[in-house]
Chain A
Amino acid sequence: MALPDQDTALALLRQMLRIRRFEDRCAQLYSAGKIRGFLHLYNGEEAIAAGIIPLLDAKDAILATYREHGHALARGVDMGAVMAEMYGKQEGCSRGRGGSMHLFDAGTRFYGGNAIVAGALPLAVGLALADKLQNRAHVSVCFFGEGAAAEGEFHESLNLAALWQLPVLFVCENNLYAMGTALVRSEAETDIHLKARSYGLHSAAVDGMDLLAVREAATVAIGHVRAGNGPYLLECHTYRFRAHSMFDSQLYRDKAEVAQWQARDPIDLYERELLNLGLIEAGSRAALEAEVEAEVEAAVAFAEAGTWEPVEQLTRDVYTQPAA
């Protein structure tokens, strides 16, 4: 696998930092009461979105769960529009109708933001079916947690995708916990990628903390799907550093375990790797951090300046045309 060139290498580091700083800021804004509802942060998992999404073409479709800020940002959904959505402003990427869990951006083919565990998997199958029937060599990528593997829709969708040989990439972000339930407490077979094999899907597992490894595995997976070889499941072993959501005191896992994983922070790991490879210099990260901070603050300012949709418009967008 070829290493990324210097520009790409830096762009990927920058992407992970954008996600991390955006979300850290969201957590502050949540405490300040600016953001409400459920807020699920992606800290620790950035190497997955940043490792996979930049490899996709503009016409490929992306679907994710409620933990999707990172995917949206990596896809190029405008950070200001994402932040305004967190605020519930009409300048948000879903007009303030979706919030943190339902970021949508049709322009970048980002189809949510789905808060039902496993709910997006069948949609990805259908988007891929539409591509196949219309002879388009696009890939539909669906990100979900390992908790989804216990849902019927996971199994139904994998079977359907394999049966019809559809161009779907299923990406399982296995962070070991579904809210407070450890994988070993909920699944008899804890290797999610092995489940895919039983449906005839090609699959692989990768260290989800290692951006270059994720990128390499995803290159293979996307290549497989785009070449018309049918669906693929990539399991990324990862860990979320923060609580499940903002209402979680994390009594289900001990601090030593969290610390152990934090020692393998994907951003730090990647930075070290780039330094070793001579692709960046000692001050590179600090410069990126400054840029990213400016972008995040601009997004906050955009959201702050945003406006509330007039309540008279409450029932718009229930139907495409207002009901007769």
Chain B
Amino acid sequence: MSAPQKITYREALREALRAALAADPRVFLMGEDVGRYGGCYAVSKGLLAEFGEARIRDTPLSESAFTGAGIGAALGGLRPIVEIMTVNFSLLALDQILNNAATLRHMSGGQVSVPLVIRMATGAGRQLAAQHSHSLEGWYAHIPGIKVVAPATVTDARHMLAAALADPDPVIVFEHVMLYNAEGELEPVDAVPLTGAAVRRPGNDLTLITYGGSLPKVLTAAEQLAADGIEAEVVDLRCLRPLDDATIMASAGKTRRAVIVDEGWRSGSFAAEISARIVEQAFYDLDAPPARVCSAEVPIPYAKHLEDAALPQVTDIVAAARGVLGRG
């Protein structure tokens, strides 16, 4: 195993794609601008030259057809990776994702499975306004039949794709747009499982639960709390479906306080699901009601100050943490 190296999240994903394409001739990448352009977030840059047009396939602007074609190709024995530019555009493919990818196995009485990986960018923070900034991974996590993951670190970004490709069922990988440039240490591991949350920071005073693009903010908040003598345990969910109840309850049961940070809107949010589960399963261990830090109930605005105000911020997380500790 090599020593830890620093790479960007984008490079980690590219490495993951390259390794997957090299390892298995059934793997191919398809999506809008993944080839000549190099990927709209430059994740697939260079892969066309390396693997050729058959395996790095530029598609027309036809989200529903190329996502459905990915499902068909998976049925036909390939291991497609479909890239959808952002979660906002995935709504045009929702029929295929929900009515076919997630459903075919059950509806056929277990005769077929759909080993498909769909990657999509999610989240706000780049002043791209409402139609490019939403976080809908909680909606997808609502759907039985698919798995939903959100790697937050370079190590997870590097390895979860391989696990997703090895999985016989459809997996959606959410990549937060603010993470692509983030640098981190690539830990010397061989594999990261698709299931199971990770404790990113140990602590005894409260649990901060998050995933994906909010993890860096939550870790910063935990640092600030530590400076005040509050030790927050940080749980990174990593996988939104299936959800790792055991890690969540072990942590919330230990610290007796939980704050959930989610870039989705508060009403009907994924954070609401986590909160409900904690109340259902760990109520008698709690010293305070679980708190949520979510996005404001507006389409994400363009103007920087408004966008910032709409999103969960470090100060909001710190304030919520102090709130559940009775130290607001």
Among the listed stretches A20-28, A93-101, A255-263, A284-292, which one makes contact with chain B, having 4 or more residues with CB under 8 Å of it? A93-101
- A21 and B111 alpha carbons, distance in the complex (Å): 28
Contacts of A111 in B (CB 8 A): 75, 112
Q: Judging by beta carbons under 8 Å apart, are A319 and B78 in contact?
A: no
The answer to whether A317 has its CB under 8 Å from any CB of chain B is yes
User: How close is A134's CB to chain B, nearest CB, in angstroms?
Assistant: 7
Q: Judging by beta carbons under 8 Å apart, are A98 and B107 in contact?
A: yes
The answer to whether B4 has its CB under 8 Å from any CB of chain A is no
Q: Which residue of B lies closest to A153 (CB)?
A: B64
In residues 120-134 of chain A, which contact B (Cβ within 8 Å)? 121-131, 133-134
Interface string of B161-186 (1 = CB under 8 A from A): 00000011100000000000000000
User: How close is B252's CB to chain A, nearest CB, in angstroms?
Assistant: 20
In residues 97-138 of chain B, which contact A (Cβ within 8 Å)? 99-100, 104-113
Interface string of B64-80 (1 = CB under 8 A from A): 11111111111111101
- A119 and B102 alpha carbons, distance in the complex (Å): 13
Q: Judging by beta carbons under 8 Å apart, are B73 and A127 in contact?
A: yes
Q: Judging by beta carbons under 8 Å apart, are A157 and B60 in contact?
A: no
- A61 and B242 alpha carbons, distance in the complex (Å): 32
Q: Judging by beta carbons under 8 Å apart, are A126 and B111 in contact?
A: no
Contacts of B75 in A (CB 8 A): 61, 111, 123, 126-127, 130
Interface string of A194-234 (1 = CB under 8 A from B): 00000000000000000000000000000000000000000
- A156 and B96 alpha carbons, distance in the complex (Å): 13
Q: Judging by beta carbons under 8 Å apart, are B110 and A317 in contact?
A: yes
User: How close is B178's CB to chain A, nearest CB, in angstroms?
Assistant: 29
User: How close is B54's CB to chain A, nearest CB, in angstroms?
Assistant: 6
- A122 and B82 alpha carbons, distance in the complex (Å): 13
The answer to whether A80 has its CB under 8 Å from any CB of chain B is no
The answer to whether A251 has its CB under 8 Å from any CB of chain B is no
Q: Judging by beta carbons under 8 Å apart, are B71 and A126 in contact?
A: yes
Q: Which residue of B lies closest to A168 (CB)?
A: B72
The answer to whether A106 has its CB under 8 Å from any CB of chain B is yes
Q: Which of A97, A121, A156, A163 contacts B109 (CB 8 A)?
A: A97
In residues 96-124 of chain A, which contact B (Cβ within 8 Å)? 96-98, 102, 104-106, 111-114, 116, 119, 121-124
**Contacts A106-B111, A153-B65, A156-B62 given: A320-B105 contact, CB under 8 Å?**
yes
Which of A93, A94, A129 has the most C-beta atoms of chain B within 10 angstroms of its own C-beta?
A: A129
Contacts of A279 in B (CB 8 A): none
Q: Judging by beta carbons under 8 Å apart, are B96 and A102 in contact?
A: no
Q: Judging by beta carbons under 8 Å apart, are B106 and A318 in contact?
A: yes
Interface string of B38-71 (1 = CB under 8 A from A): 0000000000000000100001101011111111
Q: Judging by beta carbons under 8 Å apart, are B195 and A323 in contact?
A: yes
- A295 and B114 alpha carbons, distance in the complex (Å): 34
- A152 and B147 alpha carbons, distance in the complex (Å): 27
The answer to whether A1 has its CB under 8 Å from any CB of chain B is no
Chain A at the B interface: mostly helix, strand, loop or mixed? mixed
- A121 and B95 alpha carbons, distance in the complex (Å): 12
Q: Judging by beta carbons under 8 Å apart, are A316 and B110 in contact?
A: yes
- A125 and B62 alpha carbons, distance in the complex (Å): 13
- A98 and B100 alpha carbons, distance in the complex (Å): 13
The answer to whether B28 has its CB under 8 Å from any CB of chain A is yes
The answer to whether B202 has its CB under 8 Å from any CB of chain A is no
- A96 and B110 alpha carbons, distance in the complex (Å): 11
User: How close is A230's CB to chain B, nearest CB, in angstroms?
Assistant: 15
The answer to whether A160 has its CB under 8 Å from any CB of chain B is yes
- A163 and B110 alpha carbons, distance in the complex (Å): 33
Which of B62, B65, B104, B169 has the most C-beta atoms of chain A within 10 angstroms of its own C-beta?
A: B65
User: How close is A143's CB to chain B, nearest CB, in angstroms?
Assistant: 15
The answer to whether A324 has its CB under 8 Å from any CB of chain B is yes
**Contacts A130-B76, A160-B60 given: A122-B107 contact, CB under 8 Å?**
no
Q: Judging by beta carbons under 8 Å apart, are A122 and B99 in contact?
A: no
Q: Judging by beta carbons under 8 Å apart, are A104 and B107 in contact?
A: yes
Q: Which residue of A lies closest to B115 (CB)?
A: A320
Q: Judging by beta carbons under 8 Å apart, are A156 and B60 in contact?
A: yes
Residues of chain A whose beta carbon lies under 8 Å from any beta carbon of chain B: 61, 90, 92-98, 102, 104-106, 111-114, 116, 119, 121-131, 133-134, 140, 152-153, 156-157, 159-160, 163, 316-321, 323-324
Q: Can you give 19 contacting A-B residue pairs, CB < 8 Å?
A: A92-B109, A93-B109, A95-B110, A97-B106, A104-B111, A104-B112, A119-B68, A122-B65, A126-B80, A127-B76, A129-B73, A130-B72, A134-B77, A153-B64, A156-B60, A319-B147, A320-B169, A324-B195, A324-B196
The 3 closest A-B pairs by CB, nearest first: A126-B72, A122-B68, A130-B76
Beyond A134-B78, A317-B108, A320-B105, list 10 extra A-B contacts (CB 8 Å).
A61-B76, A116-B95, A121-B65, A125-B72, A130-B72, A130-B77, A134-B77, A140-B72, A156-B66, A319-B145
